[in-house]
Structure 1
Amino acid sequence: MRGVRSAVLMLVPMCFLVAQAEPKSCCGVLPSRFSVPVPPGMVWIPGGEFTMGGHGRFVRPDELPRHRVRLDGFWISRTPVTNDEFARFVKATGYVTTAERAPTAEELLKNAPPGTPPPPAEFLVASSLVFKPTEDPVPFNNPLVWWEWKSGADWRHPEGPDSSLEGRGDHPVVHVSWFDAQAYCQWKGGRLPTEAEWEYAARGGLDEKENVWGDEPVSPARCNTWQGTFPVENSEEDDFYSTSPVRKFEPNGYGLYDMAGNVWEWVGDWYRPDSYAYDATNAVTVNPTGPSSSYDPQEPYTVKRVTRGGSFLCNDDYCSGYRPSARMKTSPDTSLVHTGFRCVIPVLFPPE
């Protein structure tokens, strides 16, 4: 999806790593008293191999070719980062998110095609993208018809300035850009997961399955997605119109929650539709970190990072984004009402 800054330019014409250093000890194995403690709120994912890429009925070209990947073990957040957790980060650091800062015309034009006119002054305000249902069914080739650039929408005000986080402390934080997510992870002593780490963790030990729970189809009992006619009416069979508490639905095989639905999650990788082609030339690719740069032929002037996992707006008629192999691409300054993140902490020594 086009980012917040880039989306404005569409609308105008239309109207630390904790432990990756070399070991300092000469000892091959440290005594148990030196074992790494369990980071609060995180789950250990043991290293291993899996088949990365699309499986099932809804596979898209950028999920292929499937290829074998081997990963070292890592810690990953049990849930997406919540509003309460993000609030503690902001209180401790004074951090101001992308959506809370007014963009400049230069920022907006940075990823625009040559010759794009500068946006009018009324667009140069602190804003973010919120979902706006349509009155009637619409073609799915122009997502801007169900997104609204709203002044005052940010992580504290998910639907706009008149909304709040009351009763939503345990919901995923949203309206965070890639930069915001990375800043939080660094504060926690970690980083965003790679695409490969995210997909491996999402599969929960179920290799080559369509969904995080297996090959059975999605249902309102499994995850927070859209039921009804998108983007017109959500029947709320899962009891939620937008985000849900992070532990509302059953965890996957690794004990991770919301690896399908609820909110899209930022990962570290740049987006390219052909990024799997190189990895597929290897028998096994070890600890991939994605391409060195971004390119999306649909929007060649906009650099993009990858998001994973789908959201409360996904359904099979539109994107089926809740599948563990599904990839979305978004400019890193984007903030939206359905996008959050979780963190990874790689370690030298796994838990005992």
Structure 2
Amino acid sequence: MKYLLGLVWSCIVAQAAAQDFLTIPAGTYTVGAKHFPLNPLRTVQLPAFRISTTEITNAQFAAFVDATGYITDAERRHNAMVFEPGLKEFRWLEDSSAYWLFPNGISRGDVADKMDHPVTCISFTDAQAYCTWSGCRLPTLDEWEVAARAGSKTRYFWGEDRDSLSQYANVWLAHDHLVADTADGYMYTSPVAHFKPNPWGLYDVYGNVFEYCEGHTALDKPGSTSVHARGGSWWCSKNSCSSFNSVDIGTVHPRASFSNLGFRVVKL
């Protein structure tokens, strides 16, 4: 671990220092959608907040680990879920060797040449630990949606159709997951800010990785420990998941770790 972190230290410093934030002004915003019980159509009042323009990268998470010695849930619990082509829809593999440094398992390689990709194979609890160290927090469900919509009231920030998706998002373009899909240049994650930003300047709000958020949905039971993530991921396709939009909300256990789950942050 220390050897690898030493090899990429200059990259870590550069990436960590380069984190940009976008200020979302205070105001009344439209969120949710009709006939969508998990996220019903409504208006919300939000104070101004500053959200990172990109997802947190492997380089930034490596800086946190190197500074604190933090051990992720996947390292302790050995229960990370990874993917490889050939699996049926919505099937994942539990890989005891996988964690953020080897997000698809040791047999599939490390992130030494992917330090500008979003960190994955971390839990909600891990993301919160990073936030505490960095002086940030996770966006709320409403904050994330307002930032992703960029002033729009449609399912996608450009409208209702999916025709423009490949310009803005790293997603699975094949019909199914039985064979590898690299049509957009990547099978798994892509570098942050590789695709076009939304009109307000946020990258990867759709695709690349699901992003953890704080808060509960309208359907969460009292006392629920479930947590939520938004935006879809590299694994999502129009035939499976299809959550690469401004409306859908995913649910996961707070200590689960998947190779398509990451986060962006809001500055305190």
The TM-score, its normalising length taken from structure 2, stands at 0.87
Tell me the alpha carbon deviations over residues 90-109 of structure 1, each in whole angstroms, 9 at most, x when there is no partner.
1111111100113xxxxxxx
In the TM superposition, residue 60 of structure 1 has moved relative to its aligned partner by 4.8
- For 1:170, the equivalent position in structure 2 comes to 116
Q: What root-mean-square deviation, in Å, do the aligned CA atoms of Structure 1 and Structure 2 show? A: 2.0
Aligned partners of 1:250 and 1:240: how far apart in 2? 15
Q: Mapping of 1:268-347 within 5 angstroms? A: 268-270=214-216, 272=217, 274=219, 293-294=223-224, 303-346=225-268
> Which residue of the partner structure matches residue 8 of structure 2?
none
Higher-Rg member (1/2): 1
What is the SS of the residue equivalent to 2:168? coil
Q: CA deviation at 1:234?
A: 4.2
Question: Unpaired runs of 5+ in structure 1?
Answer: 1-38, 103-125, 276-290, 295-302, 347-352
Contact 2:141 2:215 in 1 (8 A): yes
Residue in 1 that maps onto 2:72:
97
The 2-side partners of 1:292 and 1:259 are apart by: 29
In 2, Cα distance between the equivalents of 1:259 and 1:170?
16
* SS in structure 2 at match of 1:186: helix
Selected match of 1:242 from 188, 194, 214: 188
Q: Determine which of 72, 81, 84 is the counterpart of 2:59.
A: 84
List structure 1 runs of 4+ shifted beyond 6 angstroms.
Answer: none
Q: Cα distance, 1:258 vs. partner?
A: 0.5
For structure 2, the 5+ residue unaligned runs are 1-17
One-letter amino acid of the counterpart of residue 313, structure 1: W
Given the alignment of the two structures, is residue 53 of structure 1 paired with residue 5 of structure 2, yes or no? no
Number of the residue aligned with 2:179: 233
Q: How big is each residue's C-alpha offset from its partner over 1:129-167, in whole Å with a ceiling of 9 and x where there is no partner?
A: 1013336xx5x5xx3xx2111111000001111311121
Q: Which has the higher contact order (CA 8 A, sep 6+)?
A: 1
8 Å contact from structure 1 (residues 308, 326) kept in 2 = yes
Q: CA deviation at 1:256?
A: 0.8
The answer for the alignment partner of 1:116 in structure 2 is none
Question: How do 1:31-46 residues align onto structure 2 when only pairs under 5 Å count?
Answer: 40-46=19-25
Give the deviation of 1:292 after TM superposition.
6.0
Q: What does the per-residue CA deviation read over 1:47-96, in whole Å, with 9 as the maximum and x for residues that have no partner?
A: 122211137xxx75423x20111100101111000000000011111111
Q: Distance in 2 between matches of 1:237 and 1:217?
A: 16
Q: CA-to-partner distance for each residue in 1:103-125, whole Å, 9 max, x for gaps?
A: xxxxxxxxxxxxxxxxxxxxxxx
Q: Distance in 1 between matches of 2:19 and 2:85?
A: 38
| Residue 159 in structure 1 maps to residue 89 in structure 2 | no
Spell out the pairing of 1:17-28 with structure 2 (5 A cutoff). none
Does 2:157 match 1:212?
yes
Q: How far is 1:176 from its partner?
A: 0.7
Cα drift, residue 41 of structure 1 = 1.9
Percent identity over the alignment? 38
* 1:128 is the counterpart of 2:107: no
SS at match of 1:159: coil
The 8 Å contact of residues 47 and 74 in structure 1, kept in 2 or not, is answered as yes
Which letter does structure 2 place at the counterpart of 1:50?
Y
Q: Distance in 2 between matches of 1:61 and 1:228?
A: 29
| Counterpart residue type for residue 76 of structure 2 | R
Picking from 44, 48, 51, the partner of 1:73 is 48
Shift of 1:273: 5.1
Tell me if the contact between 2:171 and 2:235 (Cα under 8 Å) persists in the aligned partners.
yes
Q: Is the 8 A contact 2:28 2:45 kept in 1?
A: yes
- What residue in structure 2 maps to residue 299 of structure 1? none
CA distance in 1, matches of 2:267, 2:130: 12
What is the TM-score when the length of structure 1 is the normalising length? 0.67
Q: Deviations over 1:287-342 (max 9, x none)?
A: xxxx8632xxxxxxxx3101001000111112211111111000000100000001
Aligned length, in residue pairs: 249
